[in-house]
Amino acid sequence: MFDGTITNAPHIPRLRAFLDSRSMIRNPVEVFEQYRGELGPTFSFHFGGAKKAIVSSDPAFIEHVLRLNHTNYNKSDIQVERMAEFQGQGLLNSHGDAWLRQRRLLAKGFQHRRLAELLPMQHETLDKLSVGFGQEASEGPVDVYELMVRLTLKLVGKSLFGHQIGDEALEQIGSAISNIQGFIVRQIVQPYMIPWFRLSGQSDRYQQMRIDADQLIREHIQARVQDGGSDALSMMLDTPYADTGERMTDEQALVESLQLMVAANETSSTALAWTFYLLAKHPEYIEQIREEVDRVIGDGPADMGSLHKLERTLCVMDEAMRLYPSFWMIDRVSLEDDVIHGIHVPAGTTLSLYIYGLHRNTEVWEDPNRFDPSRFEKKKRDERHAFAHIPFGGGPRVCIGSNMAVMQILLIMVAIIRKYDFSLDSQADIGIRPMMILRPDGAIRMNFRPVSNA
């Protein structure tokens, strides 16, 4: 009984799972990779020895949960309660009719036409940031992860809030997001510590960070209501719901803005950091991308059409996001009993869809730890399971901002690779730090050298 068997999938005894708690806090991917190697792509497990879960890196299993029977699987209390505690109730942690209503409205802001309208502001922002980066790069090695956090924070912030929001406010919001994310992860892997976090005042401290960040966004929303604008926030405030004709409230716009900023900034910055890290390890692809950019875009600014003609560049991005998916795990909870390819899923079980393991599953990927962008050439892509590569999730709840994230990743890759060669300051491998997002475990220090004919 103490073994805590959950289902007919291979199982990790409850005591062993409890003893793994410290390792789970430090690096849950290492724990899951060990179990995946021992037990195969799907196994059951208790988070912190307490919360029952089934972990899977099988594409067919994951497709069943995210697409084929998605109505039976809600987001778990990790997002519905833990994230809502600090981010409010918005698109990312709602369900049913409320979710669909928000999704339909917010999706209008991420259509290609809307993104194309944002491109001039993105180019202007990136041009200004490039001047400071050039000076920084000339002074010595740069931590490329911190650089990408700063670049994407500005691009995402300007996309959401326009030019009116200042850099200092964006940096305060970004810092609060990062600190709160780490605290949420601690609650996920140590659920038994939540009462202590509250009694000791730790929860209150992080709540105050959220309140301060919320106030900055609230002030900006109030100014936008008075002055108008052409950014994503204006779209939220000005677009009526199709069913009632009413508009989103200021408080709901605050929640949605914060959630979009969290998802967009962290996804793009980590994807870019890992992409530049891998390119520095495989510099032959830098010249290939530069040649493609010169051939497809030339010297001028990129538009939406030309960005998506960068086939080799997109392959490199996709391969980087295979090896280092920003969303390394997606969670769901079963509403009713289900059977997925012979595995019984009891109602109330957490499903941990293990994307990092999926992207390195040897049943799908040959030599999965090798960096090989040719995997994403069209013919090879078409031959794979549709859910073998899902860095932005899949099914009806696929990341709503994925098009914007890809646009910003490509813009930054183009801007830097046009002008710079780069290499790692040290050849030591960089480890992973799995939080809500798969961050690098430490600085990725790189040297940037201007290209002579740029």
8 Å CB contact between 125 and 154 = yes
8 Å CB contact between 249 and 261 = no
pLDDT score at 2: 55
Q: Tell me the mean pLDDT in the region 112-134.
A: 87
CATH superfamily ID and name for 14-450: Cytochrome P450 (1.10.630.10)
296 has pLDDT over 90: yes
pLDDT score at 70: 96
Specify burial of residue 139 (Cβ count, 10 A radius: 0-12, 13-18, 19+): exposed
The residue with greater pLDDT, 245 or 445, is 445
144 has pLDDT over 80: yes
Q: Is 0.85 topped by the overall pTM?
A: yes
8 Å CB contact between 170 and 164 = no
CA dist., res. 384 & res. 364, Å (int): 7
CA dist., res. 283 & res. 358, Å (int): 27
pLDDT score at 3: 66
8 Å CB contact between 280 and 423 = yes
The ranges assigned to domains in the chain are 14-450
Length of the chain: 454
127 has pLDDT over 50: yes
449-453 long-range contacts (CB < 8 A, ≥24 apart) are: 449/420, 449/421, 449/422, 450/134, 450/419, 450/420, 451/290, 451/418, 451/419, 451/420, 451/421
Sequence-ordered strand ranges (E) for 188-334: 329-334
130 has pLDDT over 50: yes
Q: Tell me the mean pLDDT in the region 59-63.
A: 98
Q: Given pLDDT bands bounded at 50, 70 and 90, which one contains residue 1?
A: very low
Q: Which two tokens stand for residue 244?
A: 């009632």
182-229, pLDDT tens digit by residue?
A: 787 777 667 778 888 888 888 888 888 888 888 888 887 877 766 666
pLDDT score at 257: 84
> First vs last Cα of the chain: how many Å apart?
67
pLDDT score at 372: 98
Q: Which two tokens stand for residue 118?
A: 């944002």
CA dist., res. 324 & res. 41, Å (int): 18
328-337, pLDDT tens digit by residue?
A: 999 999 999 9
pLDDT score at 229: 65
Q: Tell me the mean pLDDT in the region 382-405.
A: 94
The residue with greater pLDDT, 424 or 181, is 424
15 has pLDDT over 90: no
Q: Read off the DSSP letter of residue 67.
A: I
pLDDT score at 225: 66
pLDDT score at 328: 96
339-371, pLDDT tens digit by residue?
A: 999 999 999 999 999 999 999 999 999 999 999
397-447, pLDDT tens digit by residue?
A: 999 989 989 999 999 999 999 999 999 999 889 999 998 789 999 999 999
Q: Given pLDDT bands bounded at 50, 70 and 90, which one contains residue 110?
A: confident
What is the tally of helices (H) and strands (E) in the chain?
A: 20, 12
CA dist., res. 138 & res. 124, Å (int): 22
Taking all residues of the chain, what is their mean pLDDT, rounded to a whole number?
88
Specify burial of residue 289 (Cβ count, 10 A radius: 0-12, 13-18, 19+): buried
